[in-house]
Chains A and B, each alone.
Chain A
């Protein structure tokens, strides 16, 4: 469960990252592809328009969801259908991307990515992953 302070912290961080959404999202994807080659079903080059637009969309969706976490299931409903039914993304991949997103945030925010921010973000990204994978069965 996320406390009120944690929710505020999450919103604050994603609002701050929205202007650099392309960078944050593509960096997380590059990390996922590099560390978990199984996710790399497509050759995406660093800086390619494809990678950047993918990255940006992910971050904007995460930032949008953060605005009202109690409504996450509603906000992410279209993405849930897309990932589960249409794309059939392996649910473990959400964990891998979440972990890589945490590493991206740690590299970008440095010491500002405190243990408290880390804990809040880990919980929030797990919640996002749970929603996106919910329709699987």
Chain B
């Protein structure tokens, strides 16, 4: 289990309060598809996501980005139990979606960059460090049901 200091908890809470799910979610998923195009293969049901313009305009990408960020919000609410919180979701990505777990880290990196573009100076080096510790816990939990 990941341990958190009071300072880390308050840093995550303060960052999360400034994060607009409807903005960061779509932006993060778009970035993962644009920066790491091989991730497109998992989203066969999303229609045209084969050019930058198509990705930026695709409403299913935007909607799904919000779904993903809402799931990140559940981890913020359950910082002491991220692994159990994500058990079902992890199993879904492994058994049904067959998502290679390396992609979780790529998505986490894109979430960080999307957050950085919006929060700017609020995501200073110390805040970034805590934020990435948190996202690492999310990535580990998403990978926990893989065998």
A, B co-complexed = yes
Q: Chain A interface (Cβ within 8 Å of chain B)?
A: 27, 30-31, 33-35, 99-100, 102-103, 106-111, 113, 115-116, 118-119, 122
* Residue in A30, A34, A103 whose beta carbon sits within 8 Å of that of B116 in the complex: A103
| Closest-CB distance, A53 to chain B (whole angstroms) | 18
- Interface majority SS (helix, strand, loop, mixed), chain B: helix
Q: Is the CB of A107 within 8 A of B120?
A: yes
- Answer yes or no: B123 CB below 8 A from chain A CBs: yes
One digit per residue, 1 when the CB lies within 8 angstroms of any chain A CB and 0 when it does not, for chain B 76-118 equals 0000000000000000000000000000000001001110111
* Distance in Å: Cβ of A102 to nearest Cβ of chain B: 6
Decide yes or no: A103 and B34 within 8 Å by CB, A31-B125, A34-B128, A115-B52 being known contacts: no
- Bound-complex Cα distance A130 to B138 (A): 29
Q: Does B137 contact A (CB under 8 A)?
A: no
Question: B14 at interface (Cβ–Cβ under 8 A)?
Answer: no
Q: Is A118 within 8 A of B128, CB to CB?
A: no
What are 25 contact pairs spanning A and B, CB under 8 A? A27-B125, A31-B125, A33-B125, A35-B132, A99-B109, A102-B109, A103-B123, A106-B114, A106-B116, A107-B117, A107-B119, A107-B123, A108-B120, A111-B117, A111-B118, A113-B113, A113-B117, A115-B27, A115-B35, A115-B52, A115-B55, A116-B52, A118-B34, A118-B35, A118-B113
Given known A-B contacts A115-B31, A119-B35, A122-B35, A103 and B129 have beta carbons under 8 A apart: no
Q: State the 7 A-B residue pairs at the shortest beta-carbon distance, nearest first.
A: A106-B116, A34-B125, A34-B129, A35-B129, A119-B35, A30-B125, A115-B34
> Considering the complex, which residues of chain B in the window 1-57 have a beta carbon less than 8 Å from any beta carbon of chain A?
27, 30-31, 34-35, 52, 55-56
By the criterion CB–CB under 8 Å, are A118 and B31 in contact? yes
Check if A106 sits within 8 Å of B128, measured CB to CB. Answer: no
- CB contacts (< 8 Å) of B31 on chain A: these are 115, 118-119
**Within the assembled complex, what's the spacing in Å between the Cα atoms of A107 and B120?**
4
Distance (whole angstroms) from the CB of B118 to the closest CB of chain A = 8
Output the least CB separation between B37 and chain A (Å): 9
| Smallest CB separation, A48 vs chain B (Å) | 14
A115 and B30 contacting across the interface, CB-CB below 8 Å: yes
A118 to B43, CA, bound (A): 21
* Contact residues, B122-147 vs A (CB, 8 A): 123, 125-126, 128-129, 132
A-side contacts of B113, CB under 8 Å: 102-103, 106, 113, 118
Taken together as a complex, chains A and B put the C-alpha atoms of A31 and B128 apart, in Å, by 7
Residues of B within 8 A of A99 (CB): 109
State the CA gap A109–B128 with chains docked (Å): 17
Residues of B contacting A119 in the complex (Cβ-Cβ under 8 angstroms): 31, 34-35
Shortest CB distance B140–A (Å): 16
